[in-house]
Chain A
Amino acid sequence: MSALLDTATVVLVSVGALLFLAGALGLLRFPDTLSRLHAISKADNLGLGLILLGLLPQSASIAGGLKLVCIWLLAQLSAATASQLLARAVHRDRTER
């Protein structure tokens, strides 16, 4: 059982890290702010989600696992707000021009 859980952890964390790498590449390579935002928000939501999901079986207690879930939810909330605000600023700059 524990070997199975460990495998799940390794796979999920690796895929999450890969998503972060893809997001970082997009952030560096995409031409404009909106597509860069698109790239980084995918990495944030799904990458962090997968990494935390992978870490859940390793947490020693239920409280520890709940803390991980809370971290993910809070990161989701702040990332969603930040990208909305950034996108809004881009939109405003475009319409003013």
Chain B
Amino acid sequence: MALFDLALVALLLMLALRVVVEPDERSAIITFLAFGLLLGLAWVRLAAPDVALTEIAIGGGVTGILLLRAEAALRGRGKQAEPATRTGKLAVAAGSAAISAGLGFAVLTFSTPAPTLAPAAAQALPATGLGNPVTAVLLAFRALDTLLEKVVVLLALIGVWSLAPDALWGGAPDLKPAAVPGPLAYLGRVLPPFGVVIGVYMFWVGADAPGGTFQAGTVLAAMWLLVMMAGLHPPPDTTRWLLRLVLAGGPILFLAIAFLGFAFADGFLAYPKALAKPLILAIEAALTLSVAAALAMLVAGPARKAPAR
């Protein structure tokens, strides 16, 4: 297996270099997608299947389609002269090299055995009622990080939405190509039922095995995007209250339960012991839907049609 790992590392380094030096944007993006898939494999080799799933779903899937759509939108517009001078570029390169060298130095000078909280986390696992230590860390031990993470996704979506021209504010994004090819429409009809089942399964199994909100949310988002791209159902107006409720529902429920912790448990973001698992599952369910809606709307982009009155 050492040989396989070495080959994997060599391929990753080659692809990373290729992403940076490739002059054609589209080729660079496709190389970046391949890089994301291989990085997922690397996480599997590091025995971190949760990270691997997220890397492939977010790094390989969502980021890839976001970049490809951005590239397609920009293609054909004359490139502007590069603002960076040679010295500027050299300064950036030197800064990046210094950061990489610093990180490398930090990793190499870790004390052995490396400091770890893993035994403490494993010991506290039964108190949460969960079987997957990663989910326990994300939603119980370090729930604050997860809460802020989901809010950041919403902020990003607000940023994308605000790119809409004034006249179209509140309208629907446009995803459908001018002519939907037959095979795409077929896939849009056949795949979503399976995809929704897989997404729900990934969320549900996340309590005890690798899986969770981001992975499940990405699969659900992909299914929704497929339906919208195949022209089977138009994207909703961004002012639709149902859409906004789903988007904000996850973080709102998370915050509400966090504050109720003051009254019924030890404080902010603490769960009463008997209810820990049901509460975590409820938060995860709402977060999965929020993540799915937010990711799909991020890819769909700002409004392109005037809102229906």
Q: What's the minimum C-beta distance from B153 to chain A, rounded to whole angstroms?
A: 26
Complex alpha-carbon distance, A85 and B187, angstroms: 11
Q: What's the minimum C-beta distance from A86 to chain B, rounded to whole angstroms?
A: 10
Q: List B residues 187-211 near A (Cβ within 8 Å).
A: 187, 190-191, 194
B245 at the interface (CB under 8 A from A): no
Q: What's the minimum C-beta distance from A45 to chain B, rounded to whole angstroms?
A: 16
- When the two chains form their complex, are residues B191 and A85 in contact, meaning their CB atoms are under 8 A apart? no
A59 at the interface (CB under 8 A from B): no
- A84's closest neighbor in chain B, by CB? B183
Q: What's the minimum C-beta distance from A8 to chain B, rounded to whole angstroms?
A: 23
B186 at the interface (CB under 8 A from A): yes
Name A's B-contacting residues (CB within 8 A). Answer: 70, 74, 77-78, 80-81, 84-85, 88
Q: What's the minimum C-beta distance from A77 to chain B, rounded to whole angstroms?
A: 7
Complex alpha-carbon distance, A77 and B187, angstroms: 8
> Number of B residues whose C-beta is below 8 Å from A?
9
- When the two chains form their complex, are residues B194 and A85 in contact, meaning their CB atoms are under 8 A apart? no
Q: List B residues 150-209 near A (Cβ within 8 Å).
A: 181-184, 186-187, 190-191, 194
- A80's closest neighbor in chain B, by CB? B183
Contacts of A81 in B (CB 8 A): 183-184, 186-187
Interchain pairs with CB closer than 8 A, number: 21
Which of B181, B182, B187 contacts A78 (CB under 8 A)? B187
Which of A70, A77, A80, A84 contacts B181 (CB under 8 A)? A84
Q: List B residues 79-131 near A (Cβ within 8 Å).
A: none
8 contacts between A and B (CB under 8 A): A74-B194, A77-B187, A78-B187, A81-B183, A81-B186, A84-B181, A85-B181, A85-B183
- When the two chains form their complex, are residues B191 and A77 in contact, meaning their CB atoms are under 8 A apart? yes
Contacts of B191 in A (CB 8 A): 74, 77-78
Contacts of A78 in B (CB 8 A): 187, 191
Complex alpha-carbon distance, A58 and B267, angstroms: 49
Contacts of A84 in B (CB 8 A): 181-183
Q: What's the minimum C-beta distance from B193 to chain A, rounded to whole angstroms?
A: 12
Q: What's the minimum C-beta distance from B64 to chain A, rounded to whole angstroms?
A: 14
- B187's closest neighbor in chain A, by CB? A81
Which 3 residue pairs are nearest across A and B when measured between Cβ atoms?
Answer: A84-B183, A81-B187, A81-B183
Complex alpha-carbon distance, A80 and B181, angstroms: 13
Q: What's the minimum C-beta distance from B131 to chain A, rounded to whole angstroms?
A: 17
- When the two chains form their complex, are residues A85 and B190 in contact, meaning their CB atoms are under 8 A apart? no
- B191's closest neighbor in chain A, by CB? A77
Q: What's the minimum C-beta distance from A88 to chain B, rounded to whole angstroms?
A: 5
Contacts of A80 in B (CB 8 A): 183
Q: What's the minimum C-beta distance from B27 to chain A, rounded to whole angstroms?
A: 15
Contacts of B190 in A (CB 8 A): 77
Contact with A along B251-262 (1 / 0, CB 8 A): 000000000000
Complex alpha-carbon distance, A88 and B186, angstroms: 15
Q: List B residues 26-51 near A (Cβ within 8 Å).
A: none
Contacts of B186 in A (CB 8 A): 81
Q: What's the minimum C-beta distance from B141 to chain A, rounded to whole angstroms?
A: 30
- When the two chains form their complex, are residues A88 and B181 in contact, meaning their CB atoms are under 8 A apart? yes
